[in-house]
Amino acid sequence: MIFKRYLVLLIALLCINTVVHAENSEIKTLQNNINQVSKTLSNDEKVAQHLSQQVRELEDNVAEHAKKIYKIEKELAQTTIRKKRADQNRLQLVDDMKVQQIALREQLQALYSAGQQSHLKLLLKQEDPSDIGRTIKYFELLNANRVNKIQSIKKTQGKIVGLSDKIQEDIIRLESLYQSLKIEKLANARTLESRNRALKKANHNTAYRKKKLKTLKTRESRLEEQIAHIERKRLERVARKEKAREARKEAKRDKERRDERRELATQKKEANAFRRRAEVVRERKRVKEAKKTSKRKTALAKVEASNKAKIAKNKAKTAKNKAKVVGKNQTFSSAKFSRQRGKLPWPVRGHLLNKYGAKKNEKRRWHGLLIKAPSGTRVKVVASGKISFAGYFKGYGYLVIVRHNNGYNSIYGHNQAVFVRKGQRVNAGHVIASVGNTGGHAQNALFFKLQKGKRPVNPLRWLKK
């Protein structure tokens, strides 16, 4: 009998050892998989970091091209004005030269007439010959002056023609440079879009690897717990059998335990009675808890229905805001910022996507406005002030901060390019940037924010309705 028990125990131990060995083998396989996934995840993170750096460099290139295009546009406009003025001066000189030519022709005719009639006047009118000579000399000097003027006008006209030709060459050169810059900007934008897609794919792969690594580590932890649990069960089983054997030996050696068993039986009856009473009390308590739970569920259902109604209302309100176009027919004032509450112009014309105070996610709210506009749309400062920051800022892309009077600041984010520098003073309506989606934003839009010191204020209370 004892031999059979030891045999059963030995078989059980062998089974447990087999299971533990299989579990250990599976753990080793999991650890190898974890190491492999960790290496792949590290490579994916390096690729994502490299692509992120390339995206940043391409955003800088696009911004630089936008600045150059803006500068060439201004230079082209000024050159066109200069050419128009040069053409006007040339036409005026042509008119002046015609007037001088007509006057010279009339003087030559008068001089010719005076020279033909001088002898007849001497015979018939008996005039002084010296008077006629002086008159002819006067006409000769006047004609020489007219000729000099005509030659001077022709010389000036030649210079203006040469200047006009040079200006036309500058216009052609600037237009050619403008077109080449636009082509380069378009190529950079396409490359940037391609890098963004690659970065998105790399981030997706990284997230997938992280999730897989987490799953493998969870499985490894569970297997280790399972092995430890099997080992604990084995030790408990051995301990229980040893304890039962000792109990049987003790029962055989000591017959006085019978009285103790009877006493224990009596105590057990009393305990059963007490347990039944306790079960009655627990049942009553459970009924009360069920009623309270039912009431709580009813209240939660009402709150959930109310929240759904609020969410639907907010969605309808957001849709209405998206359809609304803001920033039409703006006029800019040179008055101080603190005196323009409710009168400020909008920095850009577009669709209002998010209002101040609207939910951004479960924990955060919008502290400014998000205005959707086409890429490259000019962004204008709403009031006069001084540039306190102009450059790239993490999370906001190309950012401009303008300091106004009385501690007020206006902030413009997610720009494609910045056209001002730190410390520069700007007047209301000055072009400071162009609309873009830098800083990881999904669509082309301007983030506009107002602050009093470090405290954000609602821009809708300051902007024109």
Query: 260 lies in a domain?
Result: no
- Residue 55 and residue 199 in contact, taking contact as beta carbons nearer than 8 Å: yes
Tell me: pLDDT of 9 over 70: no
CATH number at residue 433: 2.70.70.10
What per-residue confidence (pLDDT) applies to 348?
95
Both 84 and 217 in one domain: the answer is yes
Least confident of 189-203, 344-358, 378-392: 189-203
Average pLDDT, the chain: 80
Structure-model confidence comparison of residues 279 and 434, the more confident one: 434
Domain extent for 139? 2-222
Tell me: pLDDT of 323 over 50: no
Both 329 and 455 in one domain: the answer is yes
Both 196 and 78 in one domain: the answer is yes
Query: 448 lies in a domain?
Result: yes
Q: How far apart are CA 182 and CA 189, in angstroms?
A: 10
Both 27 and 149 in one domain: the answer is yes
**Half-sphere exposure of 116 toward its Cβ, with a 13 Å CA cutoff?**
6
How many other CB atoms are there within 10 angstroms of residue 96's CB atom? 16
Last residue of a domain, one of 175, 191, 222: 222
Last residue of a domain, one of 172, 187, 222: 222
What per-residue confidence (pLDDT) applies to 10?
58
Both 30 and 176 in one domain: the answer is yes
Both 194 and 80 in one domain: the answer is yes
Query: 249 lies in a domain?
Result: no
Tell me: pLDDT of 3 over 60: no
Query: 133 lies in a domain?
Result: yes
Tell me: pLDDT of 161 over 80: no
Task: Give me the mean pLDDT over the 38-43 stretch.
Answer: 82
- Residue 398 and residue 433 in contact, taking contact as beta carbons nearer than 8 Å: yes
- For the chain, what percent of residues have pLDDT higher than 70? 83
Residue with tokens 């992120």: 52
What per-residue confidence (pLDDT) applies to 458?
93
Q: How far apart are CA 206 and CA 84, in angstroms?
A: 60
Last residue of a domain, one of 200, 222, 244: 222
Query: 135 lies in a domain?
Result: yes
Cα dist. 314→74, 121, 363, 412 in Å? 44, 108, 17, 26
Structure-model confidence comparison of residues 58 and 2, the more confident one: 58
Both 17 and 157 in one domain: the answer is yes
Query: 380 lies in a domain?
Result: yes
Q: How far apart are CA 82 and CA 88, in angstroms?
A: 10
Structure-model confidence comparison of residues 2 and 76, the more confident one: 76
Both 333 and 215 in one domain: the answer is no
Q: How far apart are CA 117 and CA 134, in angstroms?
A: 14
What per-residue confidence (pLDDT) applies to 247?
84
Q: How far apart are CA 409 and CA 450, in angstroms?
A: 6
The winner for highest mean pLDDT among 41-50, 121-130, 198-207, 445-454 is 445-454
Both 330 and 211 in one domain: the answer is no
Tell me: pLDDT of 452 over 80: yes
CATH number at residue 215: 1.10.287.950
Both 333 and 216 in one domain: the answer is no
Q: How far apart are CA 431 and CA 426, in angstroms?
A: 9
Both 28 and 168 in one domain: the answer is yes
What phi, psi does 449 have (nearest 5°)? -140, 145
Task: Give me the mean pLDDT over the 303-312 stretch.
Answer: 68
Least confident of 57-66, 70-79, 119-128, 339-348: 119-128
- Residue 382 and residue 410 in contact, taking contact as beta carbons nearer than 8 Å: yes
Query: 437 lies in a domain?
Result: yes
What per-residue confidence (pLDDT) applies to 107?
67
* Span 200-209, pLDDT tens digits: 888 888 888 8
Both 132 and 20 in one domain: the answer is yes
What per-residue confidence (pLDDT) applies to 314?
56
- For the chain, what percent of residues have pLDDT higher than 90? 19
**Number of folded domains that form the chain:** 2
Query: 296 lies in a domain?
Result: no
Task: Give me the mean pLDDT over the 412-429 stretch.
Answer: 94
* Span 53-76, pLDDT tens digits: 877 887 888 788 788 888 888 888
